[in-house]
Amino acid sequence: MTSTTDLLTRRTQALGAGAPLFYEQPLHIVRGEGVYLYDAEDRRYVDMYNNVPCVGHANPRVVEAMARQQATLNVHSRYLHESVVTFCERLAALHGAQIESVIISCSGTEANEIALRMARFATGNRGLICTDATYHGNSELVGALTRLGQQASPNPSVRAFPFPEKYRPIASGLSENDLCEAYLEKLAAAIADLQASGEGVAAMIVCSILANEGLPDIPAGFMDRAASMVHEAGGLVISDEVQAGYARTGQWWGYDVTGFTPDIVVTGKPMGNGLPLAATAASRALVETFRAKTRYFNTSGSSPLQAAVGLAVLDEIEQRDLAGNVATVGAALKASLTQRKGASNTIGDVRGHGLFIGVEMVEPENNVPDTDLAKRIINRLKDKGFLTSNAGAFANVVKIRPPLSFSQADASAFLIAWDETIAELAV
């Protein structure tokens, strides 16, 4: 076994400095099982971060489906293959009647590229609207939406509006209804600016639970009214369900939680439990317009391997009722953390849905973001065997997002470690 120091040195050469790593002392993980990860010294960690292995690390049904299909056939989609069709049918059926057809690709970035270009072809407009603390992927087009952690490249087609929230809102003292109106006015200004510039509105793209924004509580009614405004302006609504979807919230889709009906749905990370797999789903008319304009083909997309693994993941979620587990365990964990908010004045807010919970760390007695504290907490929790990370517009939100099979017992163990951490850091 290579030492961690040697491995770091080799990694810096082979991948280049700047390839991101978690934690002050990076972890050298060698195996996983269910919600547990093990390092090179066989130390066990409870995985409370990884949404990709949604049905658990080394899930036997997924391993078996993957191995069986790769040993049978794995080839591109220009031959007919039944399970590819079945997988797309099952994906579409998980949405409302407006979603009929699916384009499979290999990453959320690819799937969001398709969604944005689909909206542009369908509307004839170029303008794209996103929030001011978002991330949807890393191609040139999708990366132009990134407002989080770096300066966005100037892009004449993109307008960002302040993400709606109730904890640290754009104006304090407003009623929830007036706050909603205030955010909608910001969105209206973005729409008006795109129209005045001649770009017009092709689409608004949002993560349906504003995950990268820090999982804010959204003023009631905002999402649905925002969608209506975009439609009235001639644009389409894209729900990025890469983080929010696949039972993460206890419901199948984040848009069910925050209450709107998207025209285009993008899914990714958990779909393949680690196999690169993503999808863009929409009406048949939208999909066919995109296909006609681009003759889109993705060499590794819509493969029998993706279909076999994708179907195994859907089966696991449905047959084990993981959405039910998420709803139950998530609600209890969120309630327990909310109780602790009163005990520490550095916990500004506890938010989230299902097994996606954010704990916002702030300076005592005010709500100034304390990013350093959030980082100290996640590093201390790691030392105690619990893996989390930080997120949000100020990177001060402790992000809890375990595999969907995370149990009450795991949650209880975590709460003990959380209490110790808060006590040790004397906050």
Q: Which residues within the stretch 299-338 sit at the binding site for its own copies (CB under 8 A)?
A: 299-303, 305
Residue from the set 44, 67, 178, 420 that interacts with its own copies by CB under 8 A:
67
Q: Which lies closer to its own copies via its Cβ, residue 4 or residue 195?
A: 4
Both tokens assigned to 291: 């296909």
Distance CA 383, CA 371 (A): 19
Residue from the set 98, 123, 132, 139 that interacts with its own copies by CB under 8 A:
139
**In degrees, to the nearest 5, what angle opens at C-alpha 367 toward C-alphas 419 and 333?**
35
388 is an interface residue for its own copies by CB under 8 A: no
Distance CA 262, CA 213 (A): 19
155 is an interface residue for its own copies by CB under 8 A: no
123 is an interface residue for its own copies by CB under 8 A: no
Order of strands across the sheet with 397-400?
Answer: 347-353, 356-361, 397-400, 389-391
List alpha helices for 273-321, DSSP H. Answer: 284-294, 304-319
Residue from the set 296, 315, 332, 380 that interacts with its own copies by CB under 8 A:
296
Distance CA 55, CA 86 (A): 20
Q: Which lies closer to its own copies via its Cβ, residue 78 or residue 124?
A: 78
Residue from the set 24, 43, 44, 72 that interacts with its own copies by CB under 8 A:
72
CB of 280 to its own copies, least distance (A): 11
342 is an interface residue for its own copies by CB under 8 A: no
Binders of its own copies in range 349-368 (CB under 8 A): none
Distance CA 114, CA 291 (A): 10
Distance CA 22, CA 151 (A): 22
Q: Which lies closer to its own copies via its Cβ, residue 289 or residue 336?
A: 289
Distances (CA, A) of 253 to 239, 244, 256, 261, 315: 9, 6, 6, 11, 16
58 is an interface residue for its own copies by CB under 8 A: yes
30 CA to centre of own chain: 25
**How is 152-215 classified by DSSP, letter by letter?**
PPP-TTEEEEPPP-SSS-SSTT--HHHHHHHHHHHHHHHHHHHHHHT--EEEEEEETT-TTTT-
75 is an interface residue for its own copies by CB under 8 A: yes
11 is an interface residue for its own copies by CB under 8 A: yes
Binders of its own copies in range 21-40 (CB under 8 A): 21-22, 26-32, 37
157 is an interface residue for its own copies by CB under 8 A: no
177 is an interface residue for its own copies by CB under 8 A: no
Based on its alpha-carbon atoms, the radius of gyration of the chain, rounded to whole angstroms, reads: 22
Q: Which lies closer to its own copies via its Cβ, residue 61 or residue 351?
A: 61
Binders of its own copies in range 81-120 (CB under 8 A): 81-82, 84-85, 88-89, 92, 100-103, 105-110, 113, 116-117
74 is an interface residue for its own copies by CB under 8 A: yes
Residues 6+ apart with CB under 8 A from 403: 34, 35, 47, 50, 51, 53, 54, 55, 56, 57
399 is an interface residue for its own copies by CB under 8 A: no
CB of 425 to its own copies, least distance (A): 23
Residue from the set 179, 215, 275, 411 that interacts with its own copies by CB under 8 A:
275
Of the ranges 139-147, 179-187, 215-223, 248-256, which one interacts with its own copies (CB under 8 A)?
139-147
